[in-house]
Amino acid sequence: MSSPCKLAAGSVALPGAVYYDATTAMSETVQTMLQTNAEAARETEREADPGFLWDFWYPAVRSTEITGRKLATAMLLEVPLVLGRTSDGKAFAMRDSCPHRGIPLSYGRLDGPVVECCYHGWRFDACSGRCLEIPSLTSQDKLKVERIFAGHYPCEERDGYVWVYMNEPGARLPETIPAAPALPVFSEKYKITHLACELPSHVDHGIIGLMDPAHGPFVHQSWFWRSRHSIHEKEKQFEPIPNGFRMSKHSPSTNSAPYQLLKKMTGEPVTTTIDFVLPNQRLEEIHSGKLWFSSRATVTPVRRDLCRIDFVAAWNVVFLPVPIFRMFGKTFLRQDQETMIRQAEGLKHNPQLMLIDDADRPAKWYFALKANLIESRRAGTPMVHPMAEPVTLRWRS
């Protein structure tokens, strides 16, 4: 199992090592004991806090997965969910567990707006989780059925995904919750496509991999994108935005063929803006004249050792057919996925890691944003943004 990120900036340490003064003779037994204790302590720490950000929307399944009377299942932040669509078309998400004996409700059946458990037939309103009927009760029974609830979560559909608002376990749902995220689009007509892939990693590794500018020339070497030899120094301006940061509007890298083509098409400059927003979104907008391309990648924690990238892109660039884009997109995702599978192999041994300037500065901001958000929620104070002002970063890629 890979662990939530614990990265020591700029330091290298030997994992699991116990250091002691060589003059103090320490028996092998004692040393082993210390090591085991240290490992156990680290293990408990990890178990206690999986490092998830609650009280945000996360994509659970694609809208196309909940059709008719089908019940779909998903896991978000280690919470098992059952999702479906009521007979009048409203998507719902419940905890996939019957409050009676815990059997997954997904083994039950959907009947209009009601989910019926397969074990004793308790019936629940799918959208509110409220219990409507317990078939075993007689007219003598005093049990207040309507006071029993199955776990349920706010649910919205956007951009072809069913989004679920994961409020913190045991906490009350806030009075008002923000709207679910929506991909920015810039004309009435456009093409849209979705891709997904799972990564055997903690969400933090998925996210810092997503925002990492330095792996491109090594991981994404492709004839259509760039070669390892095209590596050159870059300078990009970043600015703080609420809950995140933005790579300010700029002309994208000249060593990428698609951008050159776009420029030739419109005869106008190409600009791109990339945002990262908590908990897990990377948004990119590319414009050239009237042509635009907009994409969003989210990295969603499934379990502490598994996350999923959901990628959606929309564009009005006529020369870019969906199947061609999907072919390139899948190649990119597969390259990232293969790298993360290899990384997970190394992370099993719980190594100390490094974040270096400037290429890993976005990753540092991510960890700082996350920590500051958690702290502001704990203290009930406004969140302190880790960036006081715009910053220029330089790296080679």
Contacts with Fe ion by CB under 5 A lie at 336
User: And the tokens for 76?
Assistant: 């978000």
- Of 119 and 367, which has the nearer Cβ to ligand FES? 119
Cα torsion through 67, 72, 75, 81, rounded to 10: 100
* Chain centre to alpha carbon of residue 249: 24
Among positions 83, 117, 183, 286, the unique one binding ligand FES when judged by CB under 6 A: 117
Number of residues that bind ligand FES (CB under 6 A): 8
Residue 219 engages ligand FES in binding (rule: CB under 6 A): no
Report the nearest approach of ligand FES to the CB of residue 69 (Å). 18
- Of 126 and 307, which has the nearer Cβ to Fe ion? 307
Q: Are 301 and 203 in contact (CB under 8 A)?
A: yes
Find which of Fe ion, ligand FES, none residue 101 binds, CB within 5 to 8 Å per kind: ligand FES
Per this entry, what is the length of the chain?
Answer: 397
- Of 103 and 219, which has the nearer Cβ to ligand FES? 103
- Of 119 and 149, which has the nearer Cβ to ligand FES? 119
Binders of ligand FES in range 120-159 (CB under 6 A): 120, 122
- Of 83 and 98, which has the nearer Cβ to ligand FES? 98
Report the nearest approach of Fe ion to the CB of residue 220 (Å). 6
Find which of ligand FES, Fe ion, none residue 122 binds, CB within 5 to 8 Å per kind: ligand FES
Report the nearest approach of ligand FES to the CB of residue 122 (Å). 4
- Of 69 and 101, which has the nearer Cβ to ligand FES? 101
Find which of ligand FES, Fe ion, none residue 131 binds, CB within 5 to 8 Å per kind: none
Taking alpha carbons only, the member of 99, 157, 167, 89 closest to residue 129 is 99
Window of 36-44, 53-61, 112-120, 303-311 that interacts with ligand FES by CB under 6 A: 112-120
Longest dimension (CA), the chain: 81
Letters for 61-100 (x = contact with ligand FES by CB under 6 A, - = none) are -------------------------------------x-x
Instruction: Give the start-end residues of each E strand in the chain.
Output: 56-62, 72-76, 79-85, 91-95, 109-111, 114-116, 123-125, 131-133, 152-153, 155-158, 161-166, 191-199, 233-241, 244-250, 271-277, 281-288, 291-303, 306-315, 391-396
- Of 53 and 105, which has the nearer Cβ to ligand FES? 105
Find which of ligand FES, Fe ion, none residue 232 binds, CB within 5 to 8 Å per kind: none
Residue 101 engages ligand FES in binding (rule: CB under 6 A): yes
* Chain centre to alpha carbon of residue 272: 22
Question: DSSP state, 270?
Answer: -
- For tokens 């959606």, the residue is 312
Report the nearest approach of Fe ion to the CB of residue 247 (Å). 15
Residue nearest Fe ion, CB atom distance: 336
Find which of Fe ion, ligand FES, none residue 336 binds, CB within 5 to 8 Å per kind: Fe ion
- Of 310 and 336, which has the nearer Cβ to Fe ion? 336
Residue 274 burial (CB < 10 Å; 0-12/13-18/19+)? buried
Query: CA-to-CA distance for 365 and 329, rounded, in angstroms?
Result: 27
Q: Are 273 and 241 in contact (CB under 8 A)?
A: no
Residue 30: CB atoms within 10 A of its CB come to: 12
Q: Please, which residues bridge with residue 391 across strands?
A: 238
Query: CA-to-CA distance for 100 and 281, rounded, in angstroms?
Result: 37
Window of 44-52, 114-122, 202-210, 298-306 that interacts with ligand FES by CB under 6 A: 114-122
Query: CA-to-CA distance for 9 and 352, rounded, in angstroms?
Result: 9
- Please report, as ranges, the residues that interact with ligand FES according to CB under 6 A: 98, 100-101, 103, 117, 119-120, 122
